[in-house]
Amino acid sequence: MANNTADHPPGNSVADGNQEGDFGITVMDLRELMELRSGEAVTKIANSYGDVQGVCRRLKTSPIEGLSGNPVDLEKRHAAFGKNFIPPKKPKSFLALVWEALQDVTLIILEIAAVISLGLSFYHPPGGDSELCGETASGVEDEGEAQAGWIEGAAILFSVAIVVLVTAFNDWSKEKQFRGLQNRIEQEQKFTVIRKGQVIQIPVSELVTGDIAQIKYGDLLPADGILIQGNDLKIDESSLTGESDQVRKSLEKDPMLLSGTHVMEGSGRMVVSAVGLNSQTGIIFTLLGAGDSDEEKKIKKAKTQDGIALEIQPLKSDEAVESEEKEPEVEVKRVKKVQVNKKEKSVLQGKLTKLAVQIGKAGLIMSAVTVIILILYFVIDTFGVQGRPWLKECTPIYIQYFVKFFIIGVTVLVVAVPEGLPLAVTISLAYSVKKMMKDNNLVRHLDACETMGNATTICSDKTGTLTMNRMTVVQAYLGDTHYKKVPEPDVIKPFTLEVMVNSIAINSAYTTKILSPEKEGGLPRHVGNKTECSLLGFVLELKRDYQPIRDEIPEESLYKVYTFNSSRKSMSTVLKNTDGSGFRMYSKGASEIVLRKCSHILNTNGEPRIFKPKDRDEMVKNVIEPMACDGLRTICVAYRDFPAEAGEPDWDNEGDILDELTCICVVGIEDPVRHEVPNAILKCQKAGITVRMVTGDNINTARAIATKCGILLPGEDFLCLEGKEFNQLIRNDQGEVEQERLDKVWPKLRVLARSSPTDKHTLVKGIMDSTVLETRQVVAVTGDGTNDGPALKKADVGFAMGIAGTDVAKEASDIILTDDNFTSIVKAVMWGRNVYDSISKFLQFQLTVNVVAVIVAFTGACITQDSPLKAVQMLWVNLIMDTLASLALATEPPTESLLLRKPYGRNKPLISRTMMKNILGHAVYQLTIIFTLLFAGENFFNIDSGRNAPLHSPPSEHYTIVFNVFVMMQLFNEINARKIHGERNVFEAIYRNPIFCSVVMGTFILQIVIVQFGGKPFSCTALSIDQWLWCVFIGVGELLWGQLITAIPTHRLKFLKEAGHGTHKEDVPENEMNEGDDEIDHAEMELRRGQVLWFRGLNRIQTQIKVVNAFRSSLYPGLENPESRNSIHNFMAHPEFVPLSEEEAQIPEREDSSSDEVDMEIQPIPSSSTGGGKALDVSHETTC
């Protein structure tokens, strides 16, 4: 028999699942069985168990009814065969994270300097305080003060400890948050099983050995199994074997189904034979050392050695979060190896890396110069000007001075490197991701939400995204009559009605059904493929029922099934007639395609009449095109009889089988546009984003829907193309895509109809590679079918449909739309732009602090031989305050106004000229105030000068005021930093961000505590109320100064430069643009050359930004509830399992039958397309 079905002997009911006692088969038996392939497996099953039924009997399960679902039975199966999850790798302990934070080079330098300072403060050589050591020893007469020399060293160590703990806590909470997020993704993954005779969906982690699972096109198998019944089943086993050819599965030849493999065609049922660590995937996972990081490192090295190479990547990714703090050299090597799957660096990541390199270099130079000047000044002054000899007993004192200078130098470096920047990125992205969940965006790759803010183009599917995906038949052509609404059953001839109802009931997936509404008065629930649901609904409207027909002809009795795929563009089912009169085949598919195979059509009397090509052309013109112009999808239903006397046909010769059909009817299916979509598309257009529709539908239908949505606007010069015309326009005579040709087409293209997944991939790649416009395009794509995978992976941001999408599409995507709604994409744009603005706000604030602090430390050190801001104070300002500021500025909620500006684009600098004006403007104010206070403050406040104080002298009021005023100015400038586009009202909607308000208040209170009670460790002395009021008053001046700066028009300030540009491809030297290398950011190449690896400040930025990379390849190890996490489903489901490089020619042309572009209308139609030659529509008309 062509259809693979196991016979079902009686007496194997659900009740068997509850029997006590052991199972008739052990885990080891099943493991051995699953290791066999093809003929060996068939022989083993036949010899040891009789047939698949024998395996089911020993597992105490029914092939028809499935398991009972009894908790006791399920528990027994868990105990005997294991659970369907791989134990997650333990998260790093807090102490391990502390140790990692301690690896920061700048912190290590500070620690060493502090320890030396501490040691020297306790070392008092005899005669060390002699006059011979010069002025250096003066001022240390007070024994108590001398003894207090250790306080600065201790305070630095204490500050370092605080910084390390804060960093470790951030890393720990970040890891926990990401794991929680991934758990949510896992919970979304369900699989269809039969229990108690009912078809239900359960989370993949709840699958048990013995479950009867239904598998269909687009599924990713979550466990090993043995086929019970299959229709035209083909599996992609490349994830396990490395073989790219699809493997046909059947009971007679190869019934073994393996976890982690993709169903590429057909459908069927299997009995689950191995789960978790006992499945083939789990065994590999165990061999590779699931929880052993040393093993994982070996995996990295072995990555390109055999067929499994690419597929093992997710194992590596389990430690992605772990490796985020590793050295950049290691990271670069890893990037190199994984090049096949590496997406181009995210826009923000690239810009931040480059900016960090620049800032790091500047900081390094400044700190080195500071140290050199201080040492030279000291040496020249002491040994030259004063002419003192170097005395042995004075050495410790001199060394103490050198250590002090070194600490000042390191402090300048600490201040120069924006430590808070990676934290701001992390907080902003994590905060956005959490909030985006509420907006139906489940973010899988963290950088996607930021990239979305730069999107310039959205290529959207039609079905389910722009439309409701609730399909209903509204028109029909039956018996030579075109009915504009569903006809009454009594006007249809009995034979026509019977053959049509049978055809629809039998030639649809049996998993597709219409259920009664959940709520009284609600709409019936559509389960399964929505196009098939509309046909079943049509049957119900004709007062007929499809279920009795399916009960009479169960799925097992179907003789042969040609499932839908993109080359057939139709689905056909063959039945063997019970009276022995041969076979009958039912077909359905895209109307133009199926009609081309029809030689007859049922007439008014329900009798077949000849159907010539001329009749077909007339029907297309008079029936199909008018339906399409109304925005309807058209499906043709047909049948064919094979008489017994002609003998059994050759079922593998599809060309002959799917021909000579008799057309029963053509129906027009309406899928109404979502009412909120036109408004959402209008918002996109205002935001400078072009929306393009890419659909498998008829061009007239697509054009009608695009007009309703507002994608096509009257008076606009646009293109509507079919896949066929599109390919003719962009390919040369050799059939190769030419970028020049593509550049002439895509800017005006708004609708691509009858497109294949390959067309979608070509369009996305072409737009992304194009240089025809000023800015490089950032492309977002939606997809739901298995073959949308390449386009989803290629795009800057891939959106998969959470409801209609297949597992493969979801795994290739960056964001999952949990409601399949286009408006959620618009919300993602808003959040993405908000992330970008949040980072810019923080940068504006951070760089002002950095510029001022570095200049003050550098100038102060050079003029007064001491930094006005001490090391501990610098650590407070730079690290603690930046941490708090990043929290405050990175959690600003988005506003609709974000959608009123154009996208920033790839090459827009992070720091605009307006921001540069703000940074420099506020720096001028702050430096003027600080230097005035530094050199004339003692006169203004009538206090003692703090300049030129000797070693270990007590804190002065003078320098305390300088420090306090500095912090107050930063505090009020933080409010200014809330606006980066020159807005005047910096307080606007400040109440909407309670985090910001509490951070500002909290920082203010902490500053009071530090100044009033910080004492020697913070080099502070308590201030009077008058002094405090002056400090606050000067701080408030920042707000007034901000208004003054805003009043200066930016365009007048021609001298201002921008900073933080993206890397242009042309900026990269040719010798570094090797093939496969072009997607590594140039800034990363600078790192690779090792120019700036010395200082850890940059390394810290690199590694913390790698949070993004960690997310990109995370294996989603669970944290809160390990039992339900880390299923094998995710092990192979990782996006990196689709190892398609951009240039790969053999992108399988196949669409998803469970997604709703199934409509059997996915591919370009040969020769005479619906629109005739009109598919290329450059007219200003949008009507049909």
Between helices 1096-1105 and 347-379, what is the axis angle to 10°? Answer: 160
| Spatial separation of the C-alpha atoms in residues 946 and 870, rounded to whole Å | 12
Q: Partners of 513 in the beta sheet?
A: 527
- Decide if 903 contacts 688 (C-beta within 8 A): yes
For the chain, give the number of residues: 1184
Here the tokens at position 1033 are: 């008053």
Do the strands 441-443 and 749-753 form a parallel or antiparallel pair, or are they unpaired? unpaired
* DSSP symbol at 804: T
Bridge partners (DSSP) of residue 662 are 600, 639
> Do residues 873 and 1018 lie in contact, with contact meaning Cβ atoms separated by under 8 Å?
yes
Quick count: other Cβ atoms within 10 Å of Cβ 1078? Answer: 11
What is the rounded distance in angstroms from the CA atom of residue 933 to the CA atom of residue 1023? 15
Complete DSSP assignment for 195-238: ETTEEEEEEGGG--TT-EEEEETT-B--SEEEEEEEEEEEEE-H
| Residues forming a β-bridge with 798 | 781
Lookup: tokens for 524: 């019936």
State both tokens at 868: 């006005």
Residue for token pair 């739309």: 817
Question: What phi and psi values does residue 1059 have, to the nearest 5 degrees?
Answer: -140, 155
**In terms of Cα–Cα distance, which of 1059, 899, 1046, 901 is closest to 982?**
1046
DSSP letter for 381, please. Answer: I
Contact indicator for 722, 1164 with CB cutoff of 8 Å: yes
- Cα–Cα distance between 57 and 1119 in angstroms, integer? 37
Burial of 618 (0-12, 13-18, 19+ CB in 10 A): exposed
Closest CA to 904 of 421, 459, 356, 347: 347
Give the span between the Cα atoms of 376 and 380, in whole angstroms: 6
Q: How far apart are the two ends of the chain, measured CA to CA in Å?
A: 48
Q: Tell me which residue of 572, 791, 813, 805 sits closest to 694, measured CA to CA.
A: 791
Who's near 925: CB < 8 A, 6+ residues apart? 969, 1037, 1038, 1041
* Marked catalytic residue, from 461, 788, 866, 1081: 461
Verify whether residue 461 is a known catalytic residue: yes
The C-alpha atoms of residue 1153 and residue 588 are separated, in whole angstroms, by 13
CA separation, residue 372 to residues 108, 369, 380, 790 (Å): 21, 5, 12, 56
Decide if 782 contacts 799 (C-beta within 8 A): yes
The rounded distance, in Å, linking the Cα atoms of 42 and 51 is 8
Packing angle of the helix pair 420-438, 347-379 (nearest 10 deg) = 160
Whole-angstrom distance, CA of residue 702 vs CA of residue 696 = 9
Please report, for residues 54, 221, 458, 706, the alpha-carbon distance to residue 691 in angstroms, rounded to integers and kept in the order given: 56, 35, 5, 10
Residue type, 561: V
Residue 348 burial by Cβ neighbours in a 10 Å radius (0-12, 13-18, 19+): buried
Q: List phi, psi (to 5°) of 866.
A: -155, 145
- Cα distance between residue 240 and residue 226, in whole Å: 17
Query: How far apart (Å, rounded) are the C-alpha atoms in residues 1129 and 222?
Result: 4
Report the catalytic residues.
Answer: 461
